[in-house]
Each structure stands twice: as C-alpha cells, then as structure tokens.
Structure 1
C-alpha cells in the first residue's frame, strides 16, 4: 500500500471534499482523484462515496489503520533525520494547555546556561503534541492526562516515544459553589455523577470518553462540549452552571467548589515526550523537567 495514496485518502476523508484535499496537499484535484482510484484498485473496493464525500464501510475500516501507519512512518523519517541533521537553531517545544505550568522554571534554567538559544512554544491538544513529537516537528513535548496512580499515560501504540514523568496532581470534580454536590463530604465517585450535567473539554479536562472507560459505564454524557484550549473559558463555563468537569486540584480557582474524586482511583499526570536528543539545550530542558517530580 503506497503511503502517499493513503495520506491522500485520509486528507479527503478529513476534508469531505476532493477539491479541499487538493488545496491542502498542494495537488491538482485530478491528481487527488487518481490517488483515490489507485488505492481503491489496489484494495479492490470503493473507499469513498462521492456525493457527499464520506468513507464507505471499508473506508472507515482503513481509517482506523491509517492514523497509526502514517504516524509510524513520520516517526521513522524524523528519527533517521535526527542522526544526520545539525542541531536546530530554535528549540521547538509543544505542550497541552495544562502541561505548560511545568515549563517556566526549566526554561529559565536553560536560558541561563544557553543564553543564545531561541525557543518557540506551541500550545495545542494532546494528540497534536504526540503527533508532532513523533514526526519531528517539535523537539520536546509536555502532555497531561489522567491515569491510575501507578500507570503512565496511555498516549499511543503506534510509535515508541521516550516518556518521563514530570508532575502529578490530585483530581477533583469542579462545579459551582451553589451546586447541590458542592459539599459532598469526603468526595465523589463517578458513579455518583452518572446523571450530572457534564462539560466535555477533551483538551483541558479529563475527557469524558476516558472517564467512561475508567468507570466502566456509558452513563457520563456531555451536555456541553468545549473544543478550545483556554482554561479560563472552561472555568467560566463551569461557574456559569453549564456543567461540571474533572480537573487537577491546582487549577481550580477559589470561586469554584473542588470536590475530591474518590473512585475510581485516578491522578492527573504530566509527562515529557521526545525522540533522540542531540541539542545540549534540549537535553538541559529534558533534564530540568525530569528532576521536578
């Protein structure tokens, strides 16, 4: 299976349009159509319906495989390039929104040791951080999430990334102080919240899909979904009564109630991600972050 054809297929499926995919990839629309036709011929089945442009059942199945395959190829390319490339002139960092809190002290130490180093920081979703590290777009990444107290974050099985625990925090249910559950004794379990009004903010709060898996229940469903990465906006939505969310205790402001999550036993973790490091400044940041916990 030609990975160029596979990447074209994924882009068309994401865009829902051959012309939009052609614009994103820098191809002609005719070339995109030829790529899809060649891939369908190779696999012996239609992968896309044309009006509207949506995957067939076979196309949906291929999409499940395509992400990990393309990520693995990007990671292999980046890993090989690291062995022959000169150290980058700019230290490129990426972090999920809540993971940025771990960076300030480490960067200050590196700035003192390597005063000429230029640094860039991209704040983005967790999946984008992982994909960017695998592809070599970023030198170092910080990503946060929830896990059991003894387990690392479950990031991806597609590639092997170097991970180091940086910080952990207790999880709480954040809700308005006027909420009936705001004074719920020693804490709350997810079972207590099956019928609650939830905000799903997958790039900031604990994603509801992850909480459902941890609780072994399909009952936790969003009343409001926030796809942004601004913590202040999420806290404002909670205080305004749009729903509750599970967050690390340290980020919940005093105007909200923060009730301990007692069951299942989960913690908020921040982990450092990277590939092979050849830049002394990057190694220094990694070392400073690794020494935090």
Structure 2
C-alpha cells in the first residue's frame, strides 16, 4: 500500500472534500482523484462516497489503521535522520501541563531549550515523529503501575515520579472541611472536562464545563469558582490561589509522570534525561 496514496485518502476523509485536500497537499484535484482511484483499485473496494464525500464502511476501517501506520513511517524516518546529530547544545522537550514542575525545571539547561506544552495525548506522537527529543507525559495510575500509552512507535519509557491526588473544590462546598474524600463521596458531583490537561476520574455524570486549554491557572480558577470539580496532583491543588484541596484516599491512585525518548538520547537531551532520572549524564 503506497503511503502517498494513504496520506491523500486520510486528507480527503478528514476534510470531506477532494478540492480542499488538493489545496492542503499541494496537488491538483485531478491528482487527488487519481490517488483515491488507485488506492481503491489496490484494495478492490470503494473507500469514499463522492456526494457527499464520506468514508464507506471499508474506508472507516482503513482510517483506523492509517493514523498509526503513517505515524510509524514518520517515526522510522525521524529515527534514521536522528543519526545526523542535532545542533550541539540544543534540546526540544514536549511536556503535558501537569508534568511541568520543579523536577523538570531544575533539569533544563539555562540556554538552548525549546519547551512545548501539549495535551498528554499528543506528547508520544511528537516524540515518535522526531519533532521533540524528549517527552514528559502524565496520567492516573495505580501506585508503581506504568501509564497506558498509545502504541505510536517504539519509545523508551522511564517512570520519574508519583504524587498523591486531591480534589480541588470551592471553599463553600459541603466537603470542603473534610480531611480526605473518596470518589464514591462525589459520585453525583459535576466535574470539569479538561482533556488538554488530562486528569479526569471515571464518573457517570455529565461534565459541568468543557475546558479546551492547557492553562492550569485557568482550570484551578474555574474549579474554585464552582464551575466543576478538578482532580489534580496534591501539590498543584494546594498551590492553587483559591479553592480547597482535599486529598483523595480511595480508590488508591497516583499522578504518575514518565519520560519518553525515541531510543538512547544524545547530547543535551542525554543530560536532561539523566537529571530527570537520576542516571549518569
């Protein structure tokens, strides 16, 4: 299966337009049509309806495979190009918002750093594709258990820290005076939905508010103002300028942070990774 044809198919399906895909990819519309026809001929099935433009059931199934396949090709390309060393003394680190803390900040050199703060789900992909030298990603886990990361490409994963959790609630909330809470105590509570930050319990109620951003200060302000509860690492919740941080005691979960690398880091990336993991630089 030709990856160029697959990229064209993904673009057409995403944009629901042959002409829009042609503009995005820098092709003529005729070339895009030829790519789709060639891919359909190769697979011997129709992948897109034309009016309107939409994936067929076979096209939907191909889309499930296309993203990981194309990302692995990008990862392979990046891995080979990485052998041509990056500029000395420079490192690019991708991090999820809650992974930005004292440990990371103390590990970064004074100069030559690019720090990209991204939603947790995006960090493994940019590291695998060679856009960043290292990645820090976080999430909920049982103590000492690894995070469940997407299988984007072979990555070296190292756990670098675990923290207790807390629920950030408004000062006037009925549970604000509690020494600790269980999720069962909040079974009917309304939670903030903040996928760009990443920590969310499995609850049966609809989210109180959807926050499409990565700014922790904004999330804490929303929780403190009563727009929904927020589950956060205990140090972050306690540092919030308003609201009350109540430790979570059940279920036994932690906020876990892991370091991602596309193989063995070198140069400035190696030094940063060593500071984060406590290994030799």
Q: CA deviation at 1:234?
A: 1.1
For the Cα contact (< 8 Å) 2:179–2:247, is it kept in 1?
Answer: no
Cα distance between partner residues in 1 of 2:54 and 2:169: 39
- Once the two structures are superposed, the pairs formed by residues 104-119 of structure 1 within 5 Å of their partners are 104-107=105-108, 110-111=109-110, 118-119=112-113
Residue 188 (structure 2) aligns with: 195
* 1:127 matched residue in structure 2: 121
Checking the alignment, whether the CA contact within 8 Å between 1:164 and 1:271 is kept in structure 2 is: yes
Map of 1:41-56 to 2, 5 A cutoff? 41-56=41-56
2:166 aligned with 1:172, yes or no? yes
| SS of aligned partner of 2:121 | helix
1:211-259 Cα distance to aligned partner (Å, 9 max, x none): 33xxxxx614323211211111111221222211211111121521222
Residue 137 of structure 2 is matched in structure 1 by: 143
**Structure 1's 30 and 195: CA in aligned 2 closer, same or farther, altered over 3 A?**
farther
Q: Aligned to 2:152, what secondary structure does the other structure show? A: coil
Q: CA deviation at 1:184?
A: 4.2
2:30 corresponds to: 30
User: Which secondary structure does the structure 1 equivalent of 2:93 belong to?
Assistant: strand
Structure 1 residue aligned with 2:270: 283
* SS, match of residue 103 in structure 1: helix
State whether structure 2 residue 251 is matched by structure 1 residue 258: no
Structure 2: which 5+ runs fail to align? none
Unaligned runs of 5+ in 1: 112-116, 213-217
Question: Which residue pairs with 1:80 in the alignment?
Answer: 80
Question: SS state of the match for residue 70, structure 1?
Answer: helix
Residues 259 and 60 (structure 1), Cα distance of their counterparts in 2 relative to 1, 3 Å cut: farther
Q: 1:20 to 1:249 in 2, by over 3 A?
A: farther
Q: Would you tell me which structure has more helix in proportion to its own residues? A: 1
CA contact 1:6–1:66 (8 Å) conserved in 2: yes
Equivalent in the alignment of 1:270:
257
Answer whether contact 1:201 1:226 (CA < 8 A) is retained: yes
Structure 1 residues 254 and 230: CA distance shift in structure 2, 3 A: closer
Q: CA deviation at 1:45?
A: 2.8
- Write the deviation string for residues 145-173 of structure 1: whole angstroms up to 9, x where unpaired: 11111211111223221111222211122
In the TM superposition, what is the alpha-carbon distance from 1:131 to its structure 2 partner? Answer: 0.7
The alpha-carbon distance between structure 1 residues 174 and 28, as it changes in their structure 2 partners (threshold 3 A), is farther
Instruction: Quote how far apart the aligned CAs of 1:138 are.
Output: 0.6
Tell me, in whole angstroms, the C-alpha distance in 1 between the residues paired with 2:47 and 2:157: 36
1:60 equivalent in structure 2: 60
Q: What whole-Å deviation, never above 9, does each CA across 1:185-225 have from its counterpart, x for those lacking one? A: 53122x33332212110121414xxx33xxxxx61432321
**Contact 2:120/2:198 (<8 A) preserved:** no
Classify the secondary structure of the residue corresponding to 2:272.
Answer: helix
Tell me the number of residue pairs that the alignment of Structure 1 and Structure 2 aligns: 275
Alignment partners' CA distance in 2, 1:275 and 1:233? 32
Considering only aligned residues, what root-mean-square deviation do their CA atoms show, in Å?
A: 2.2
CA deviation vs aligned residue, 1:119-138 (integer Å, no higher than 9, x gap): 21111112222111101111
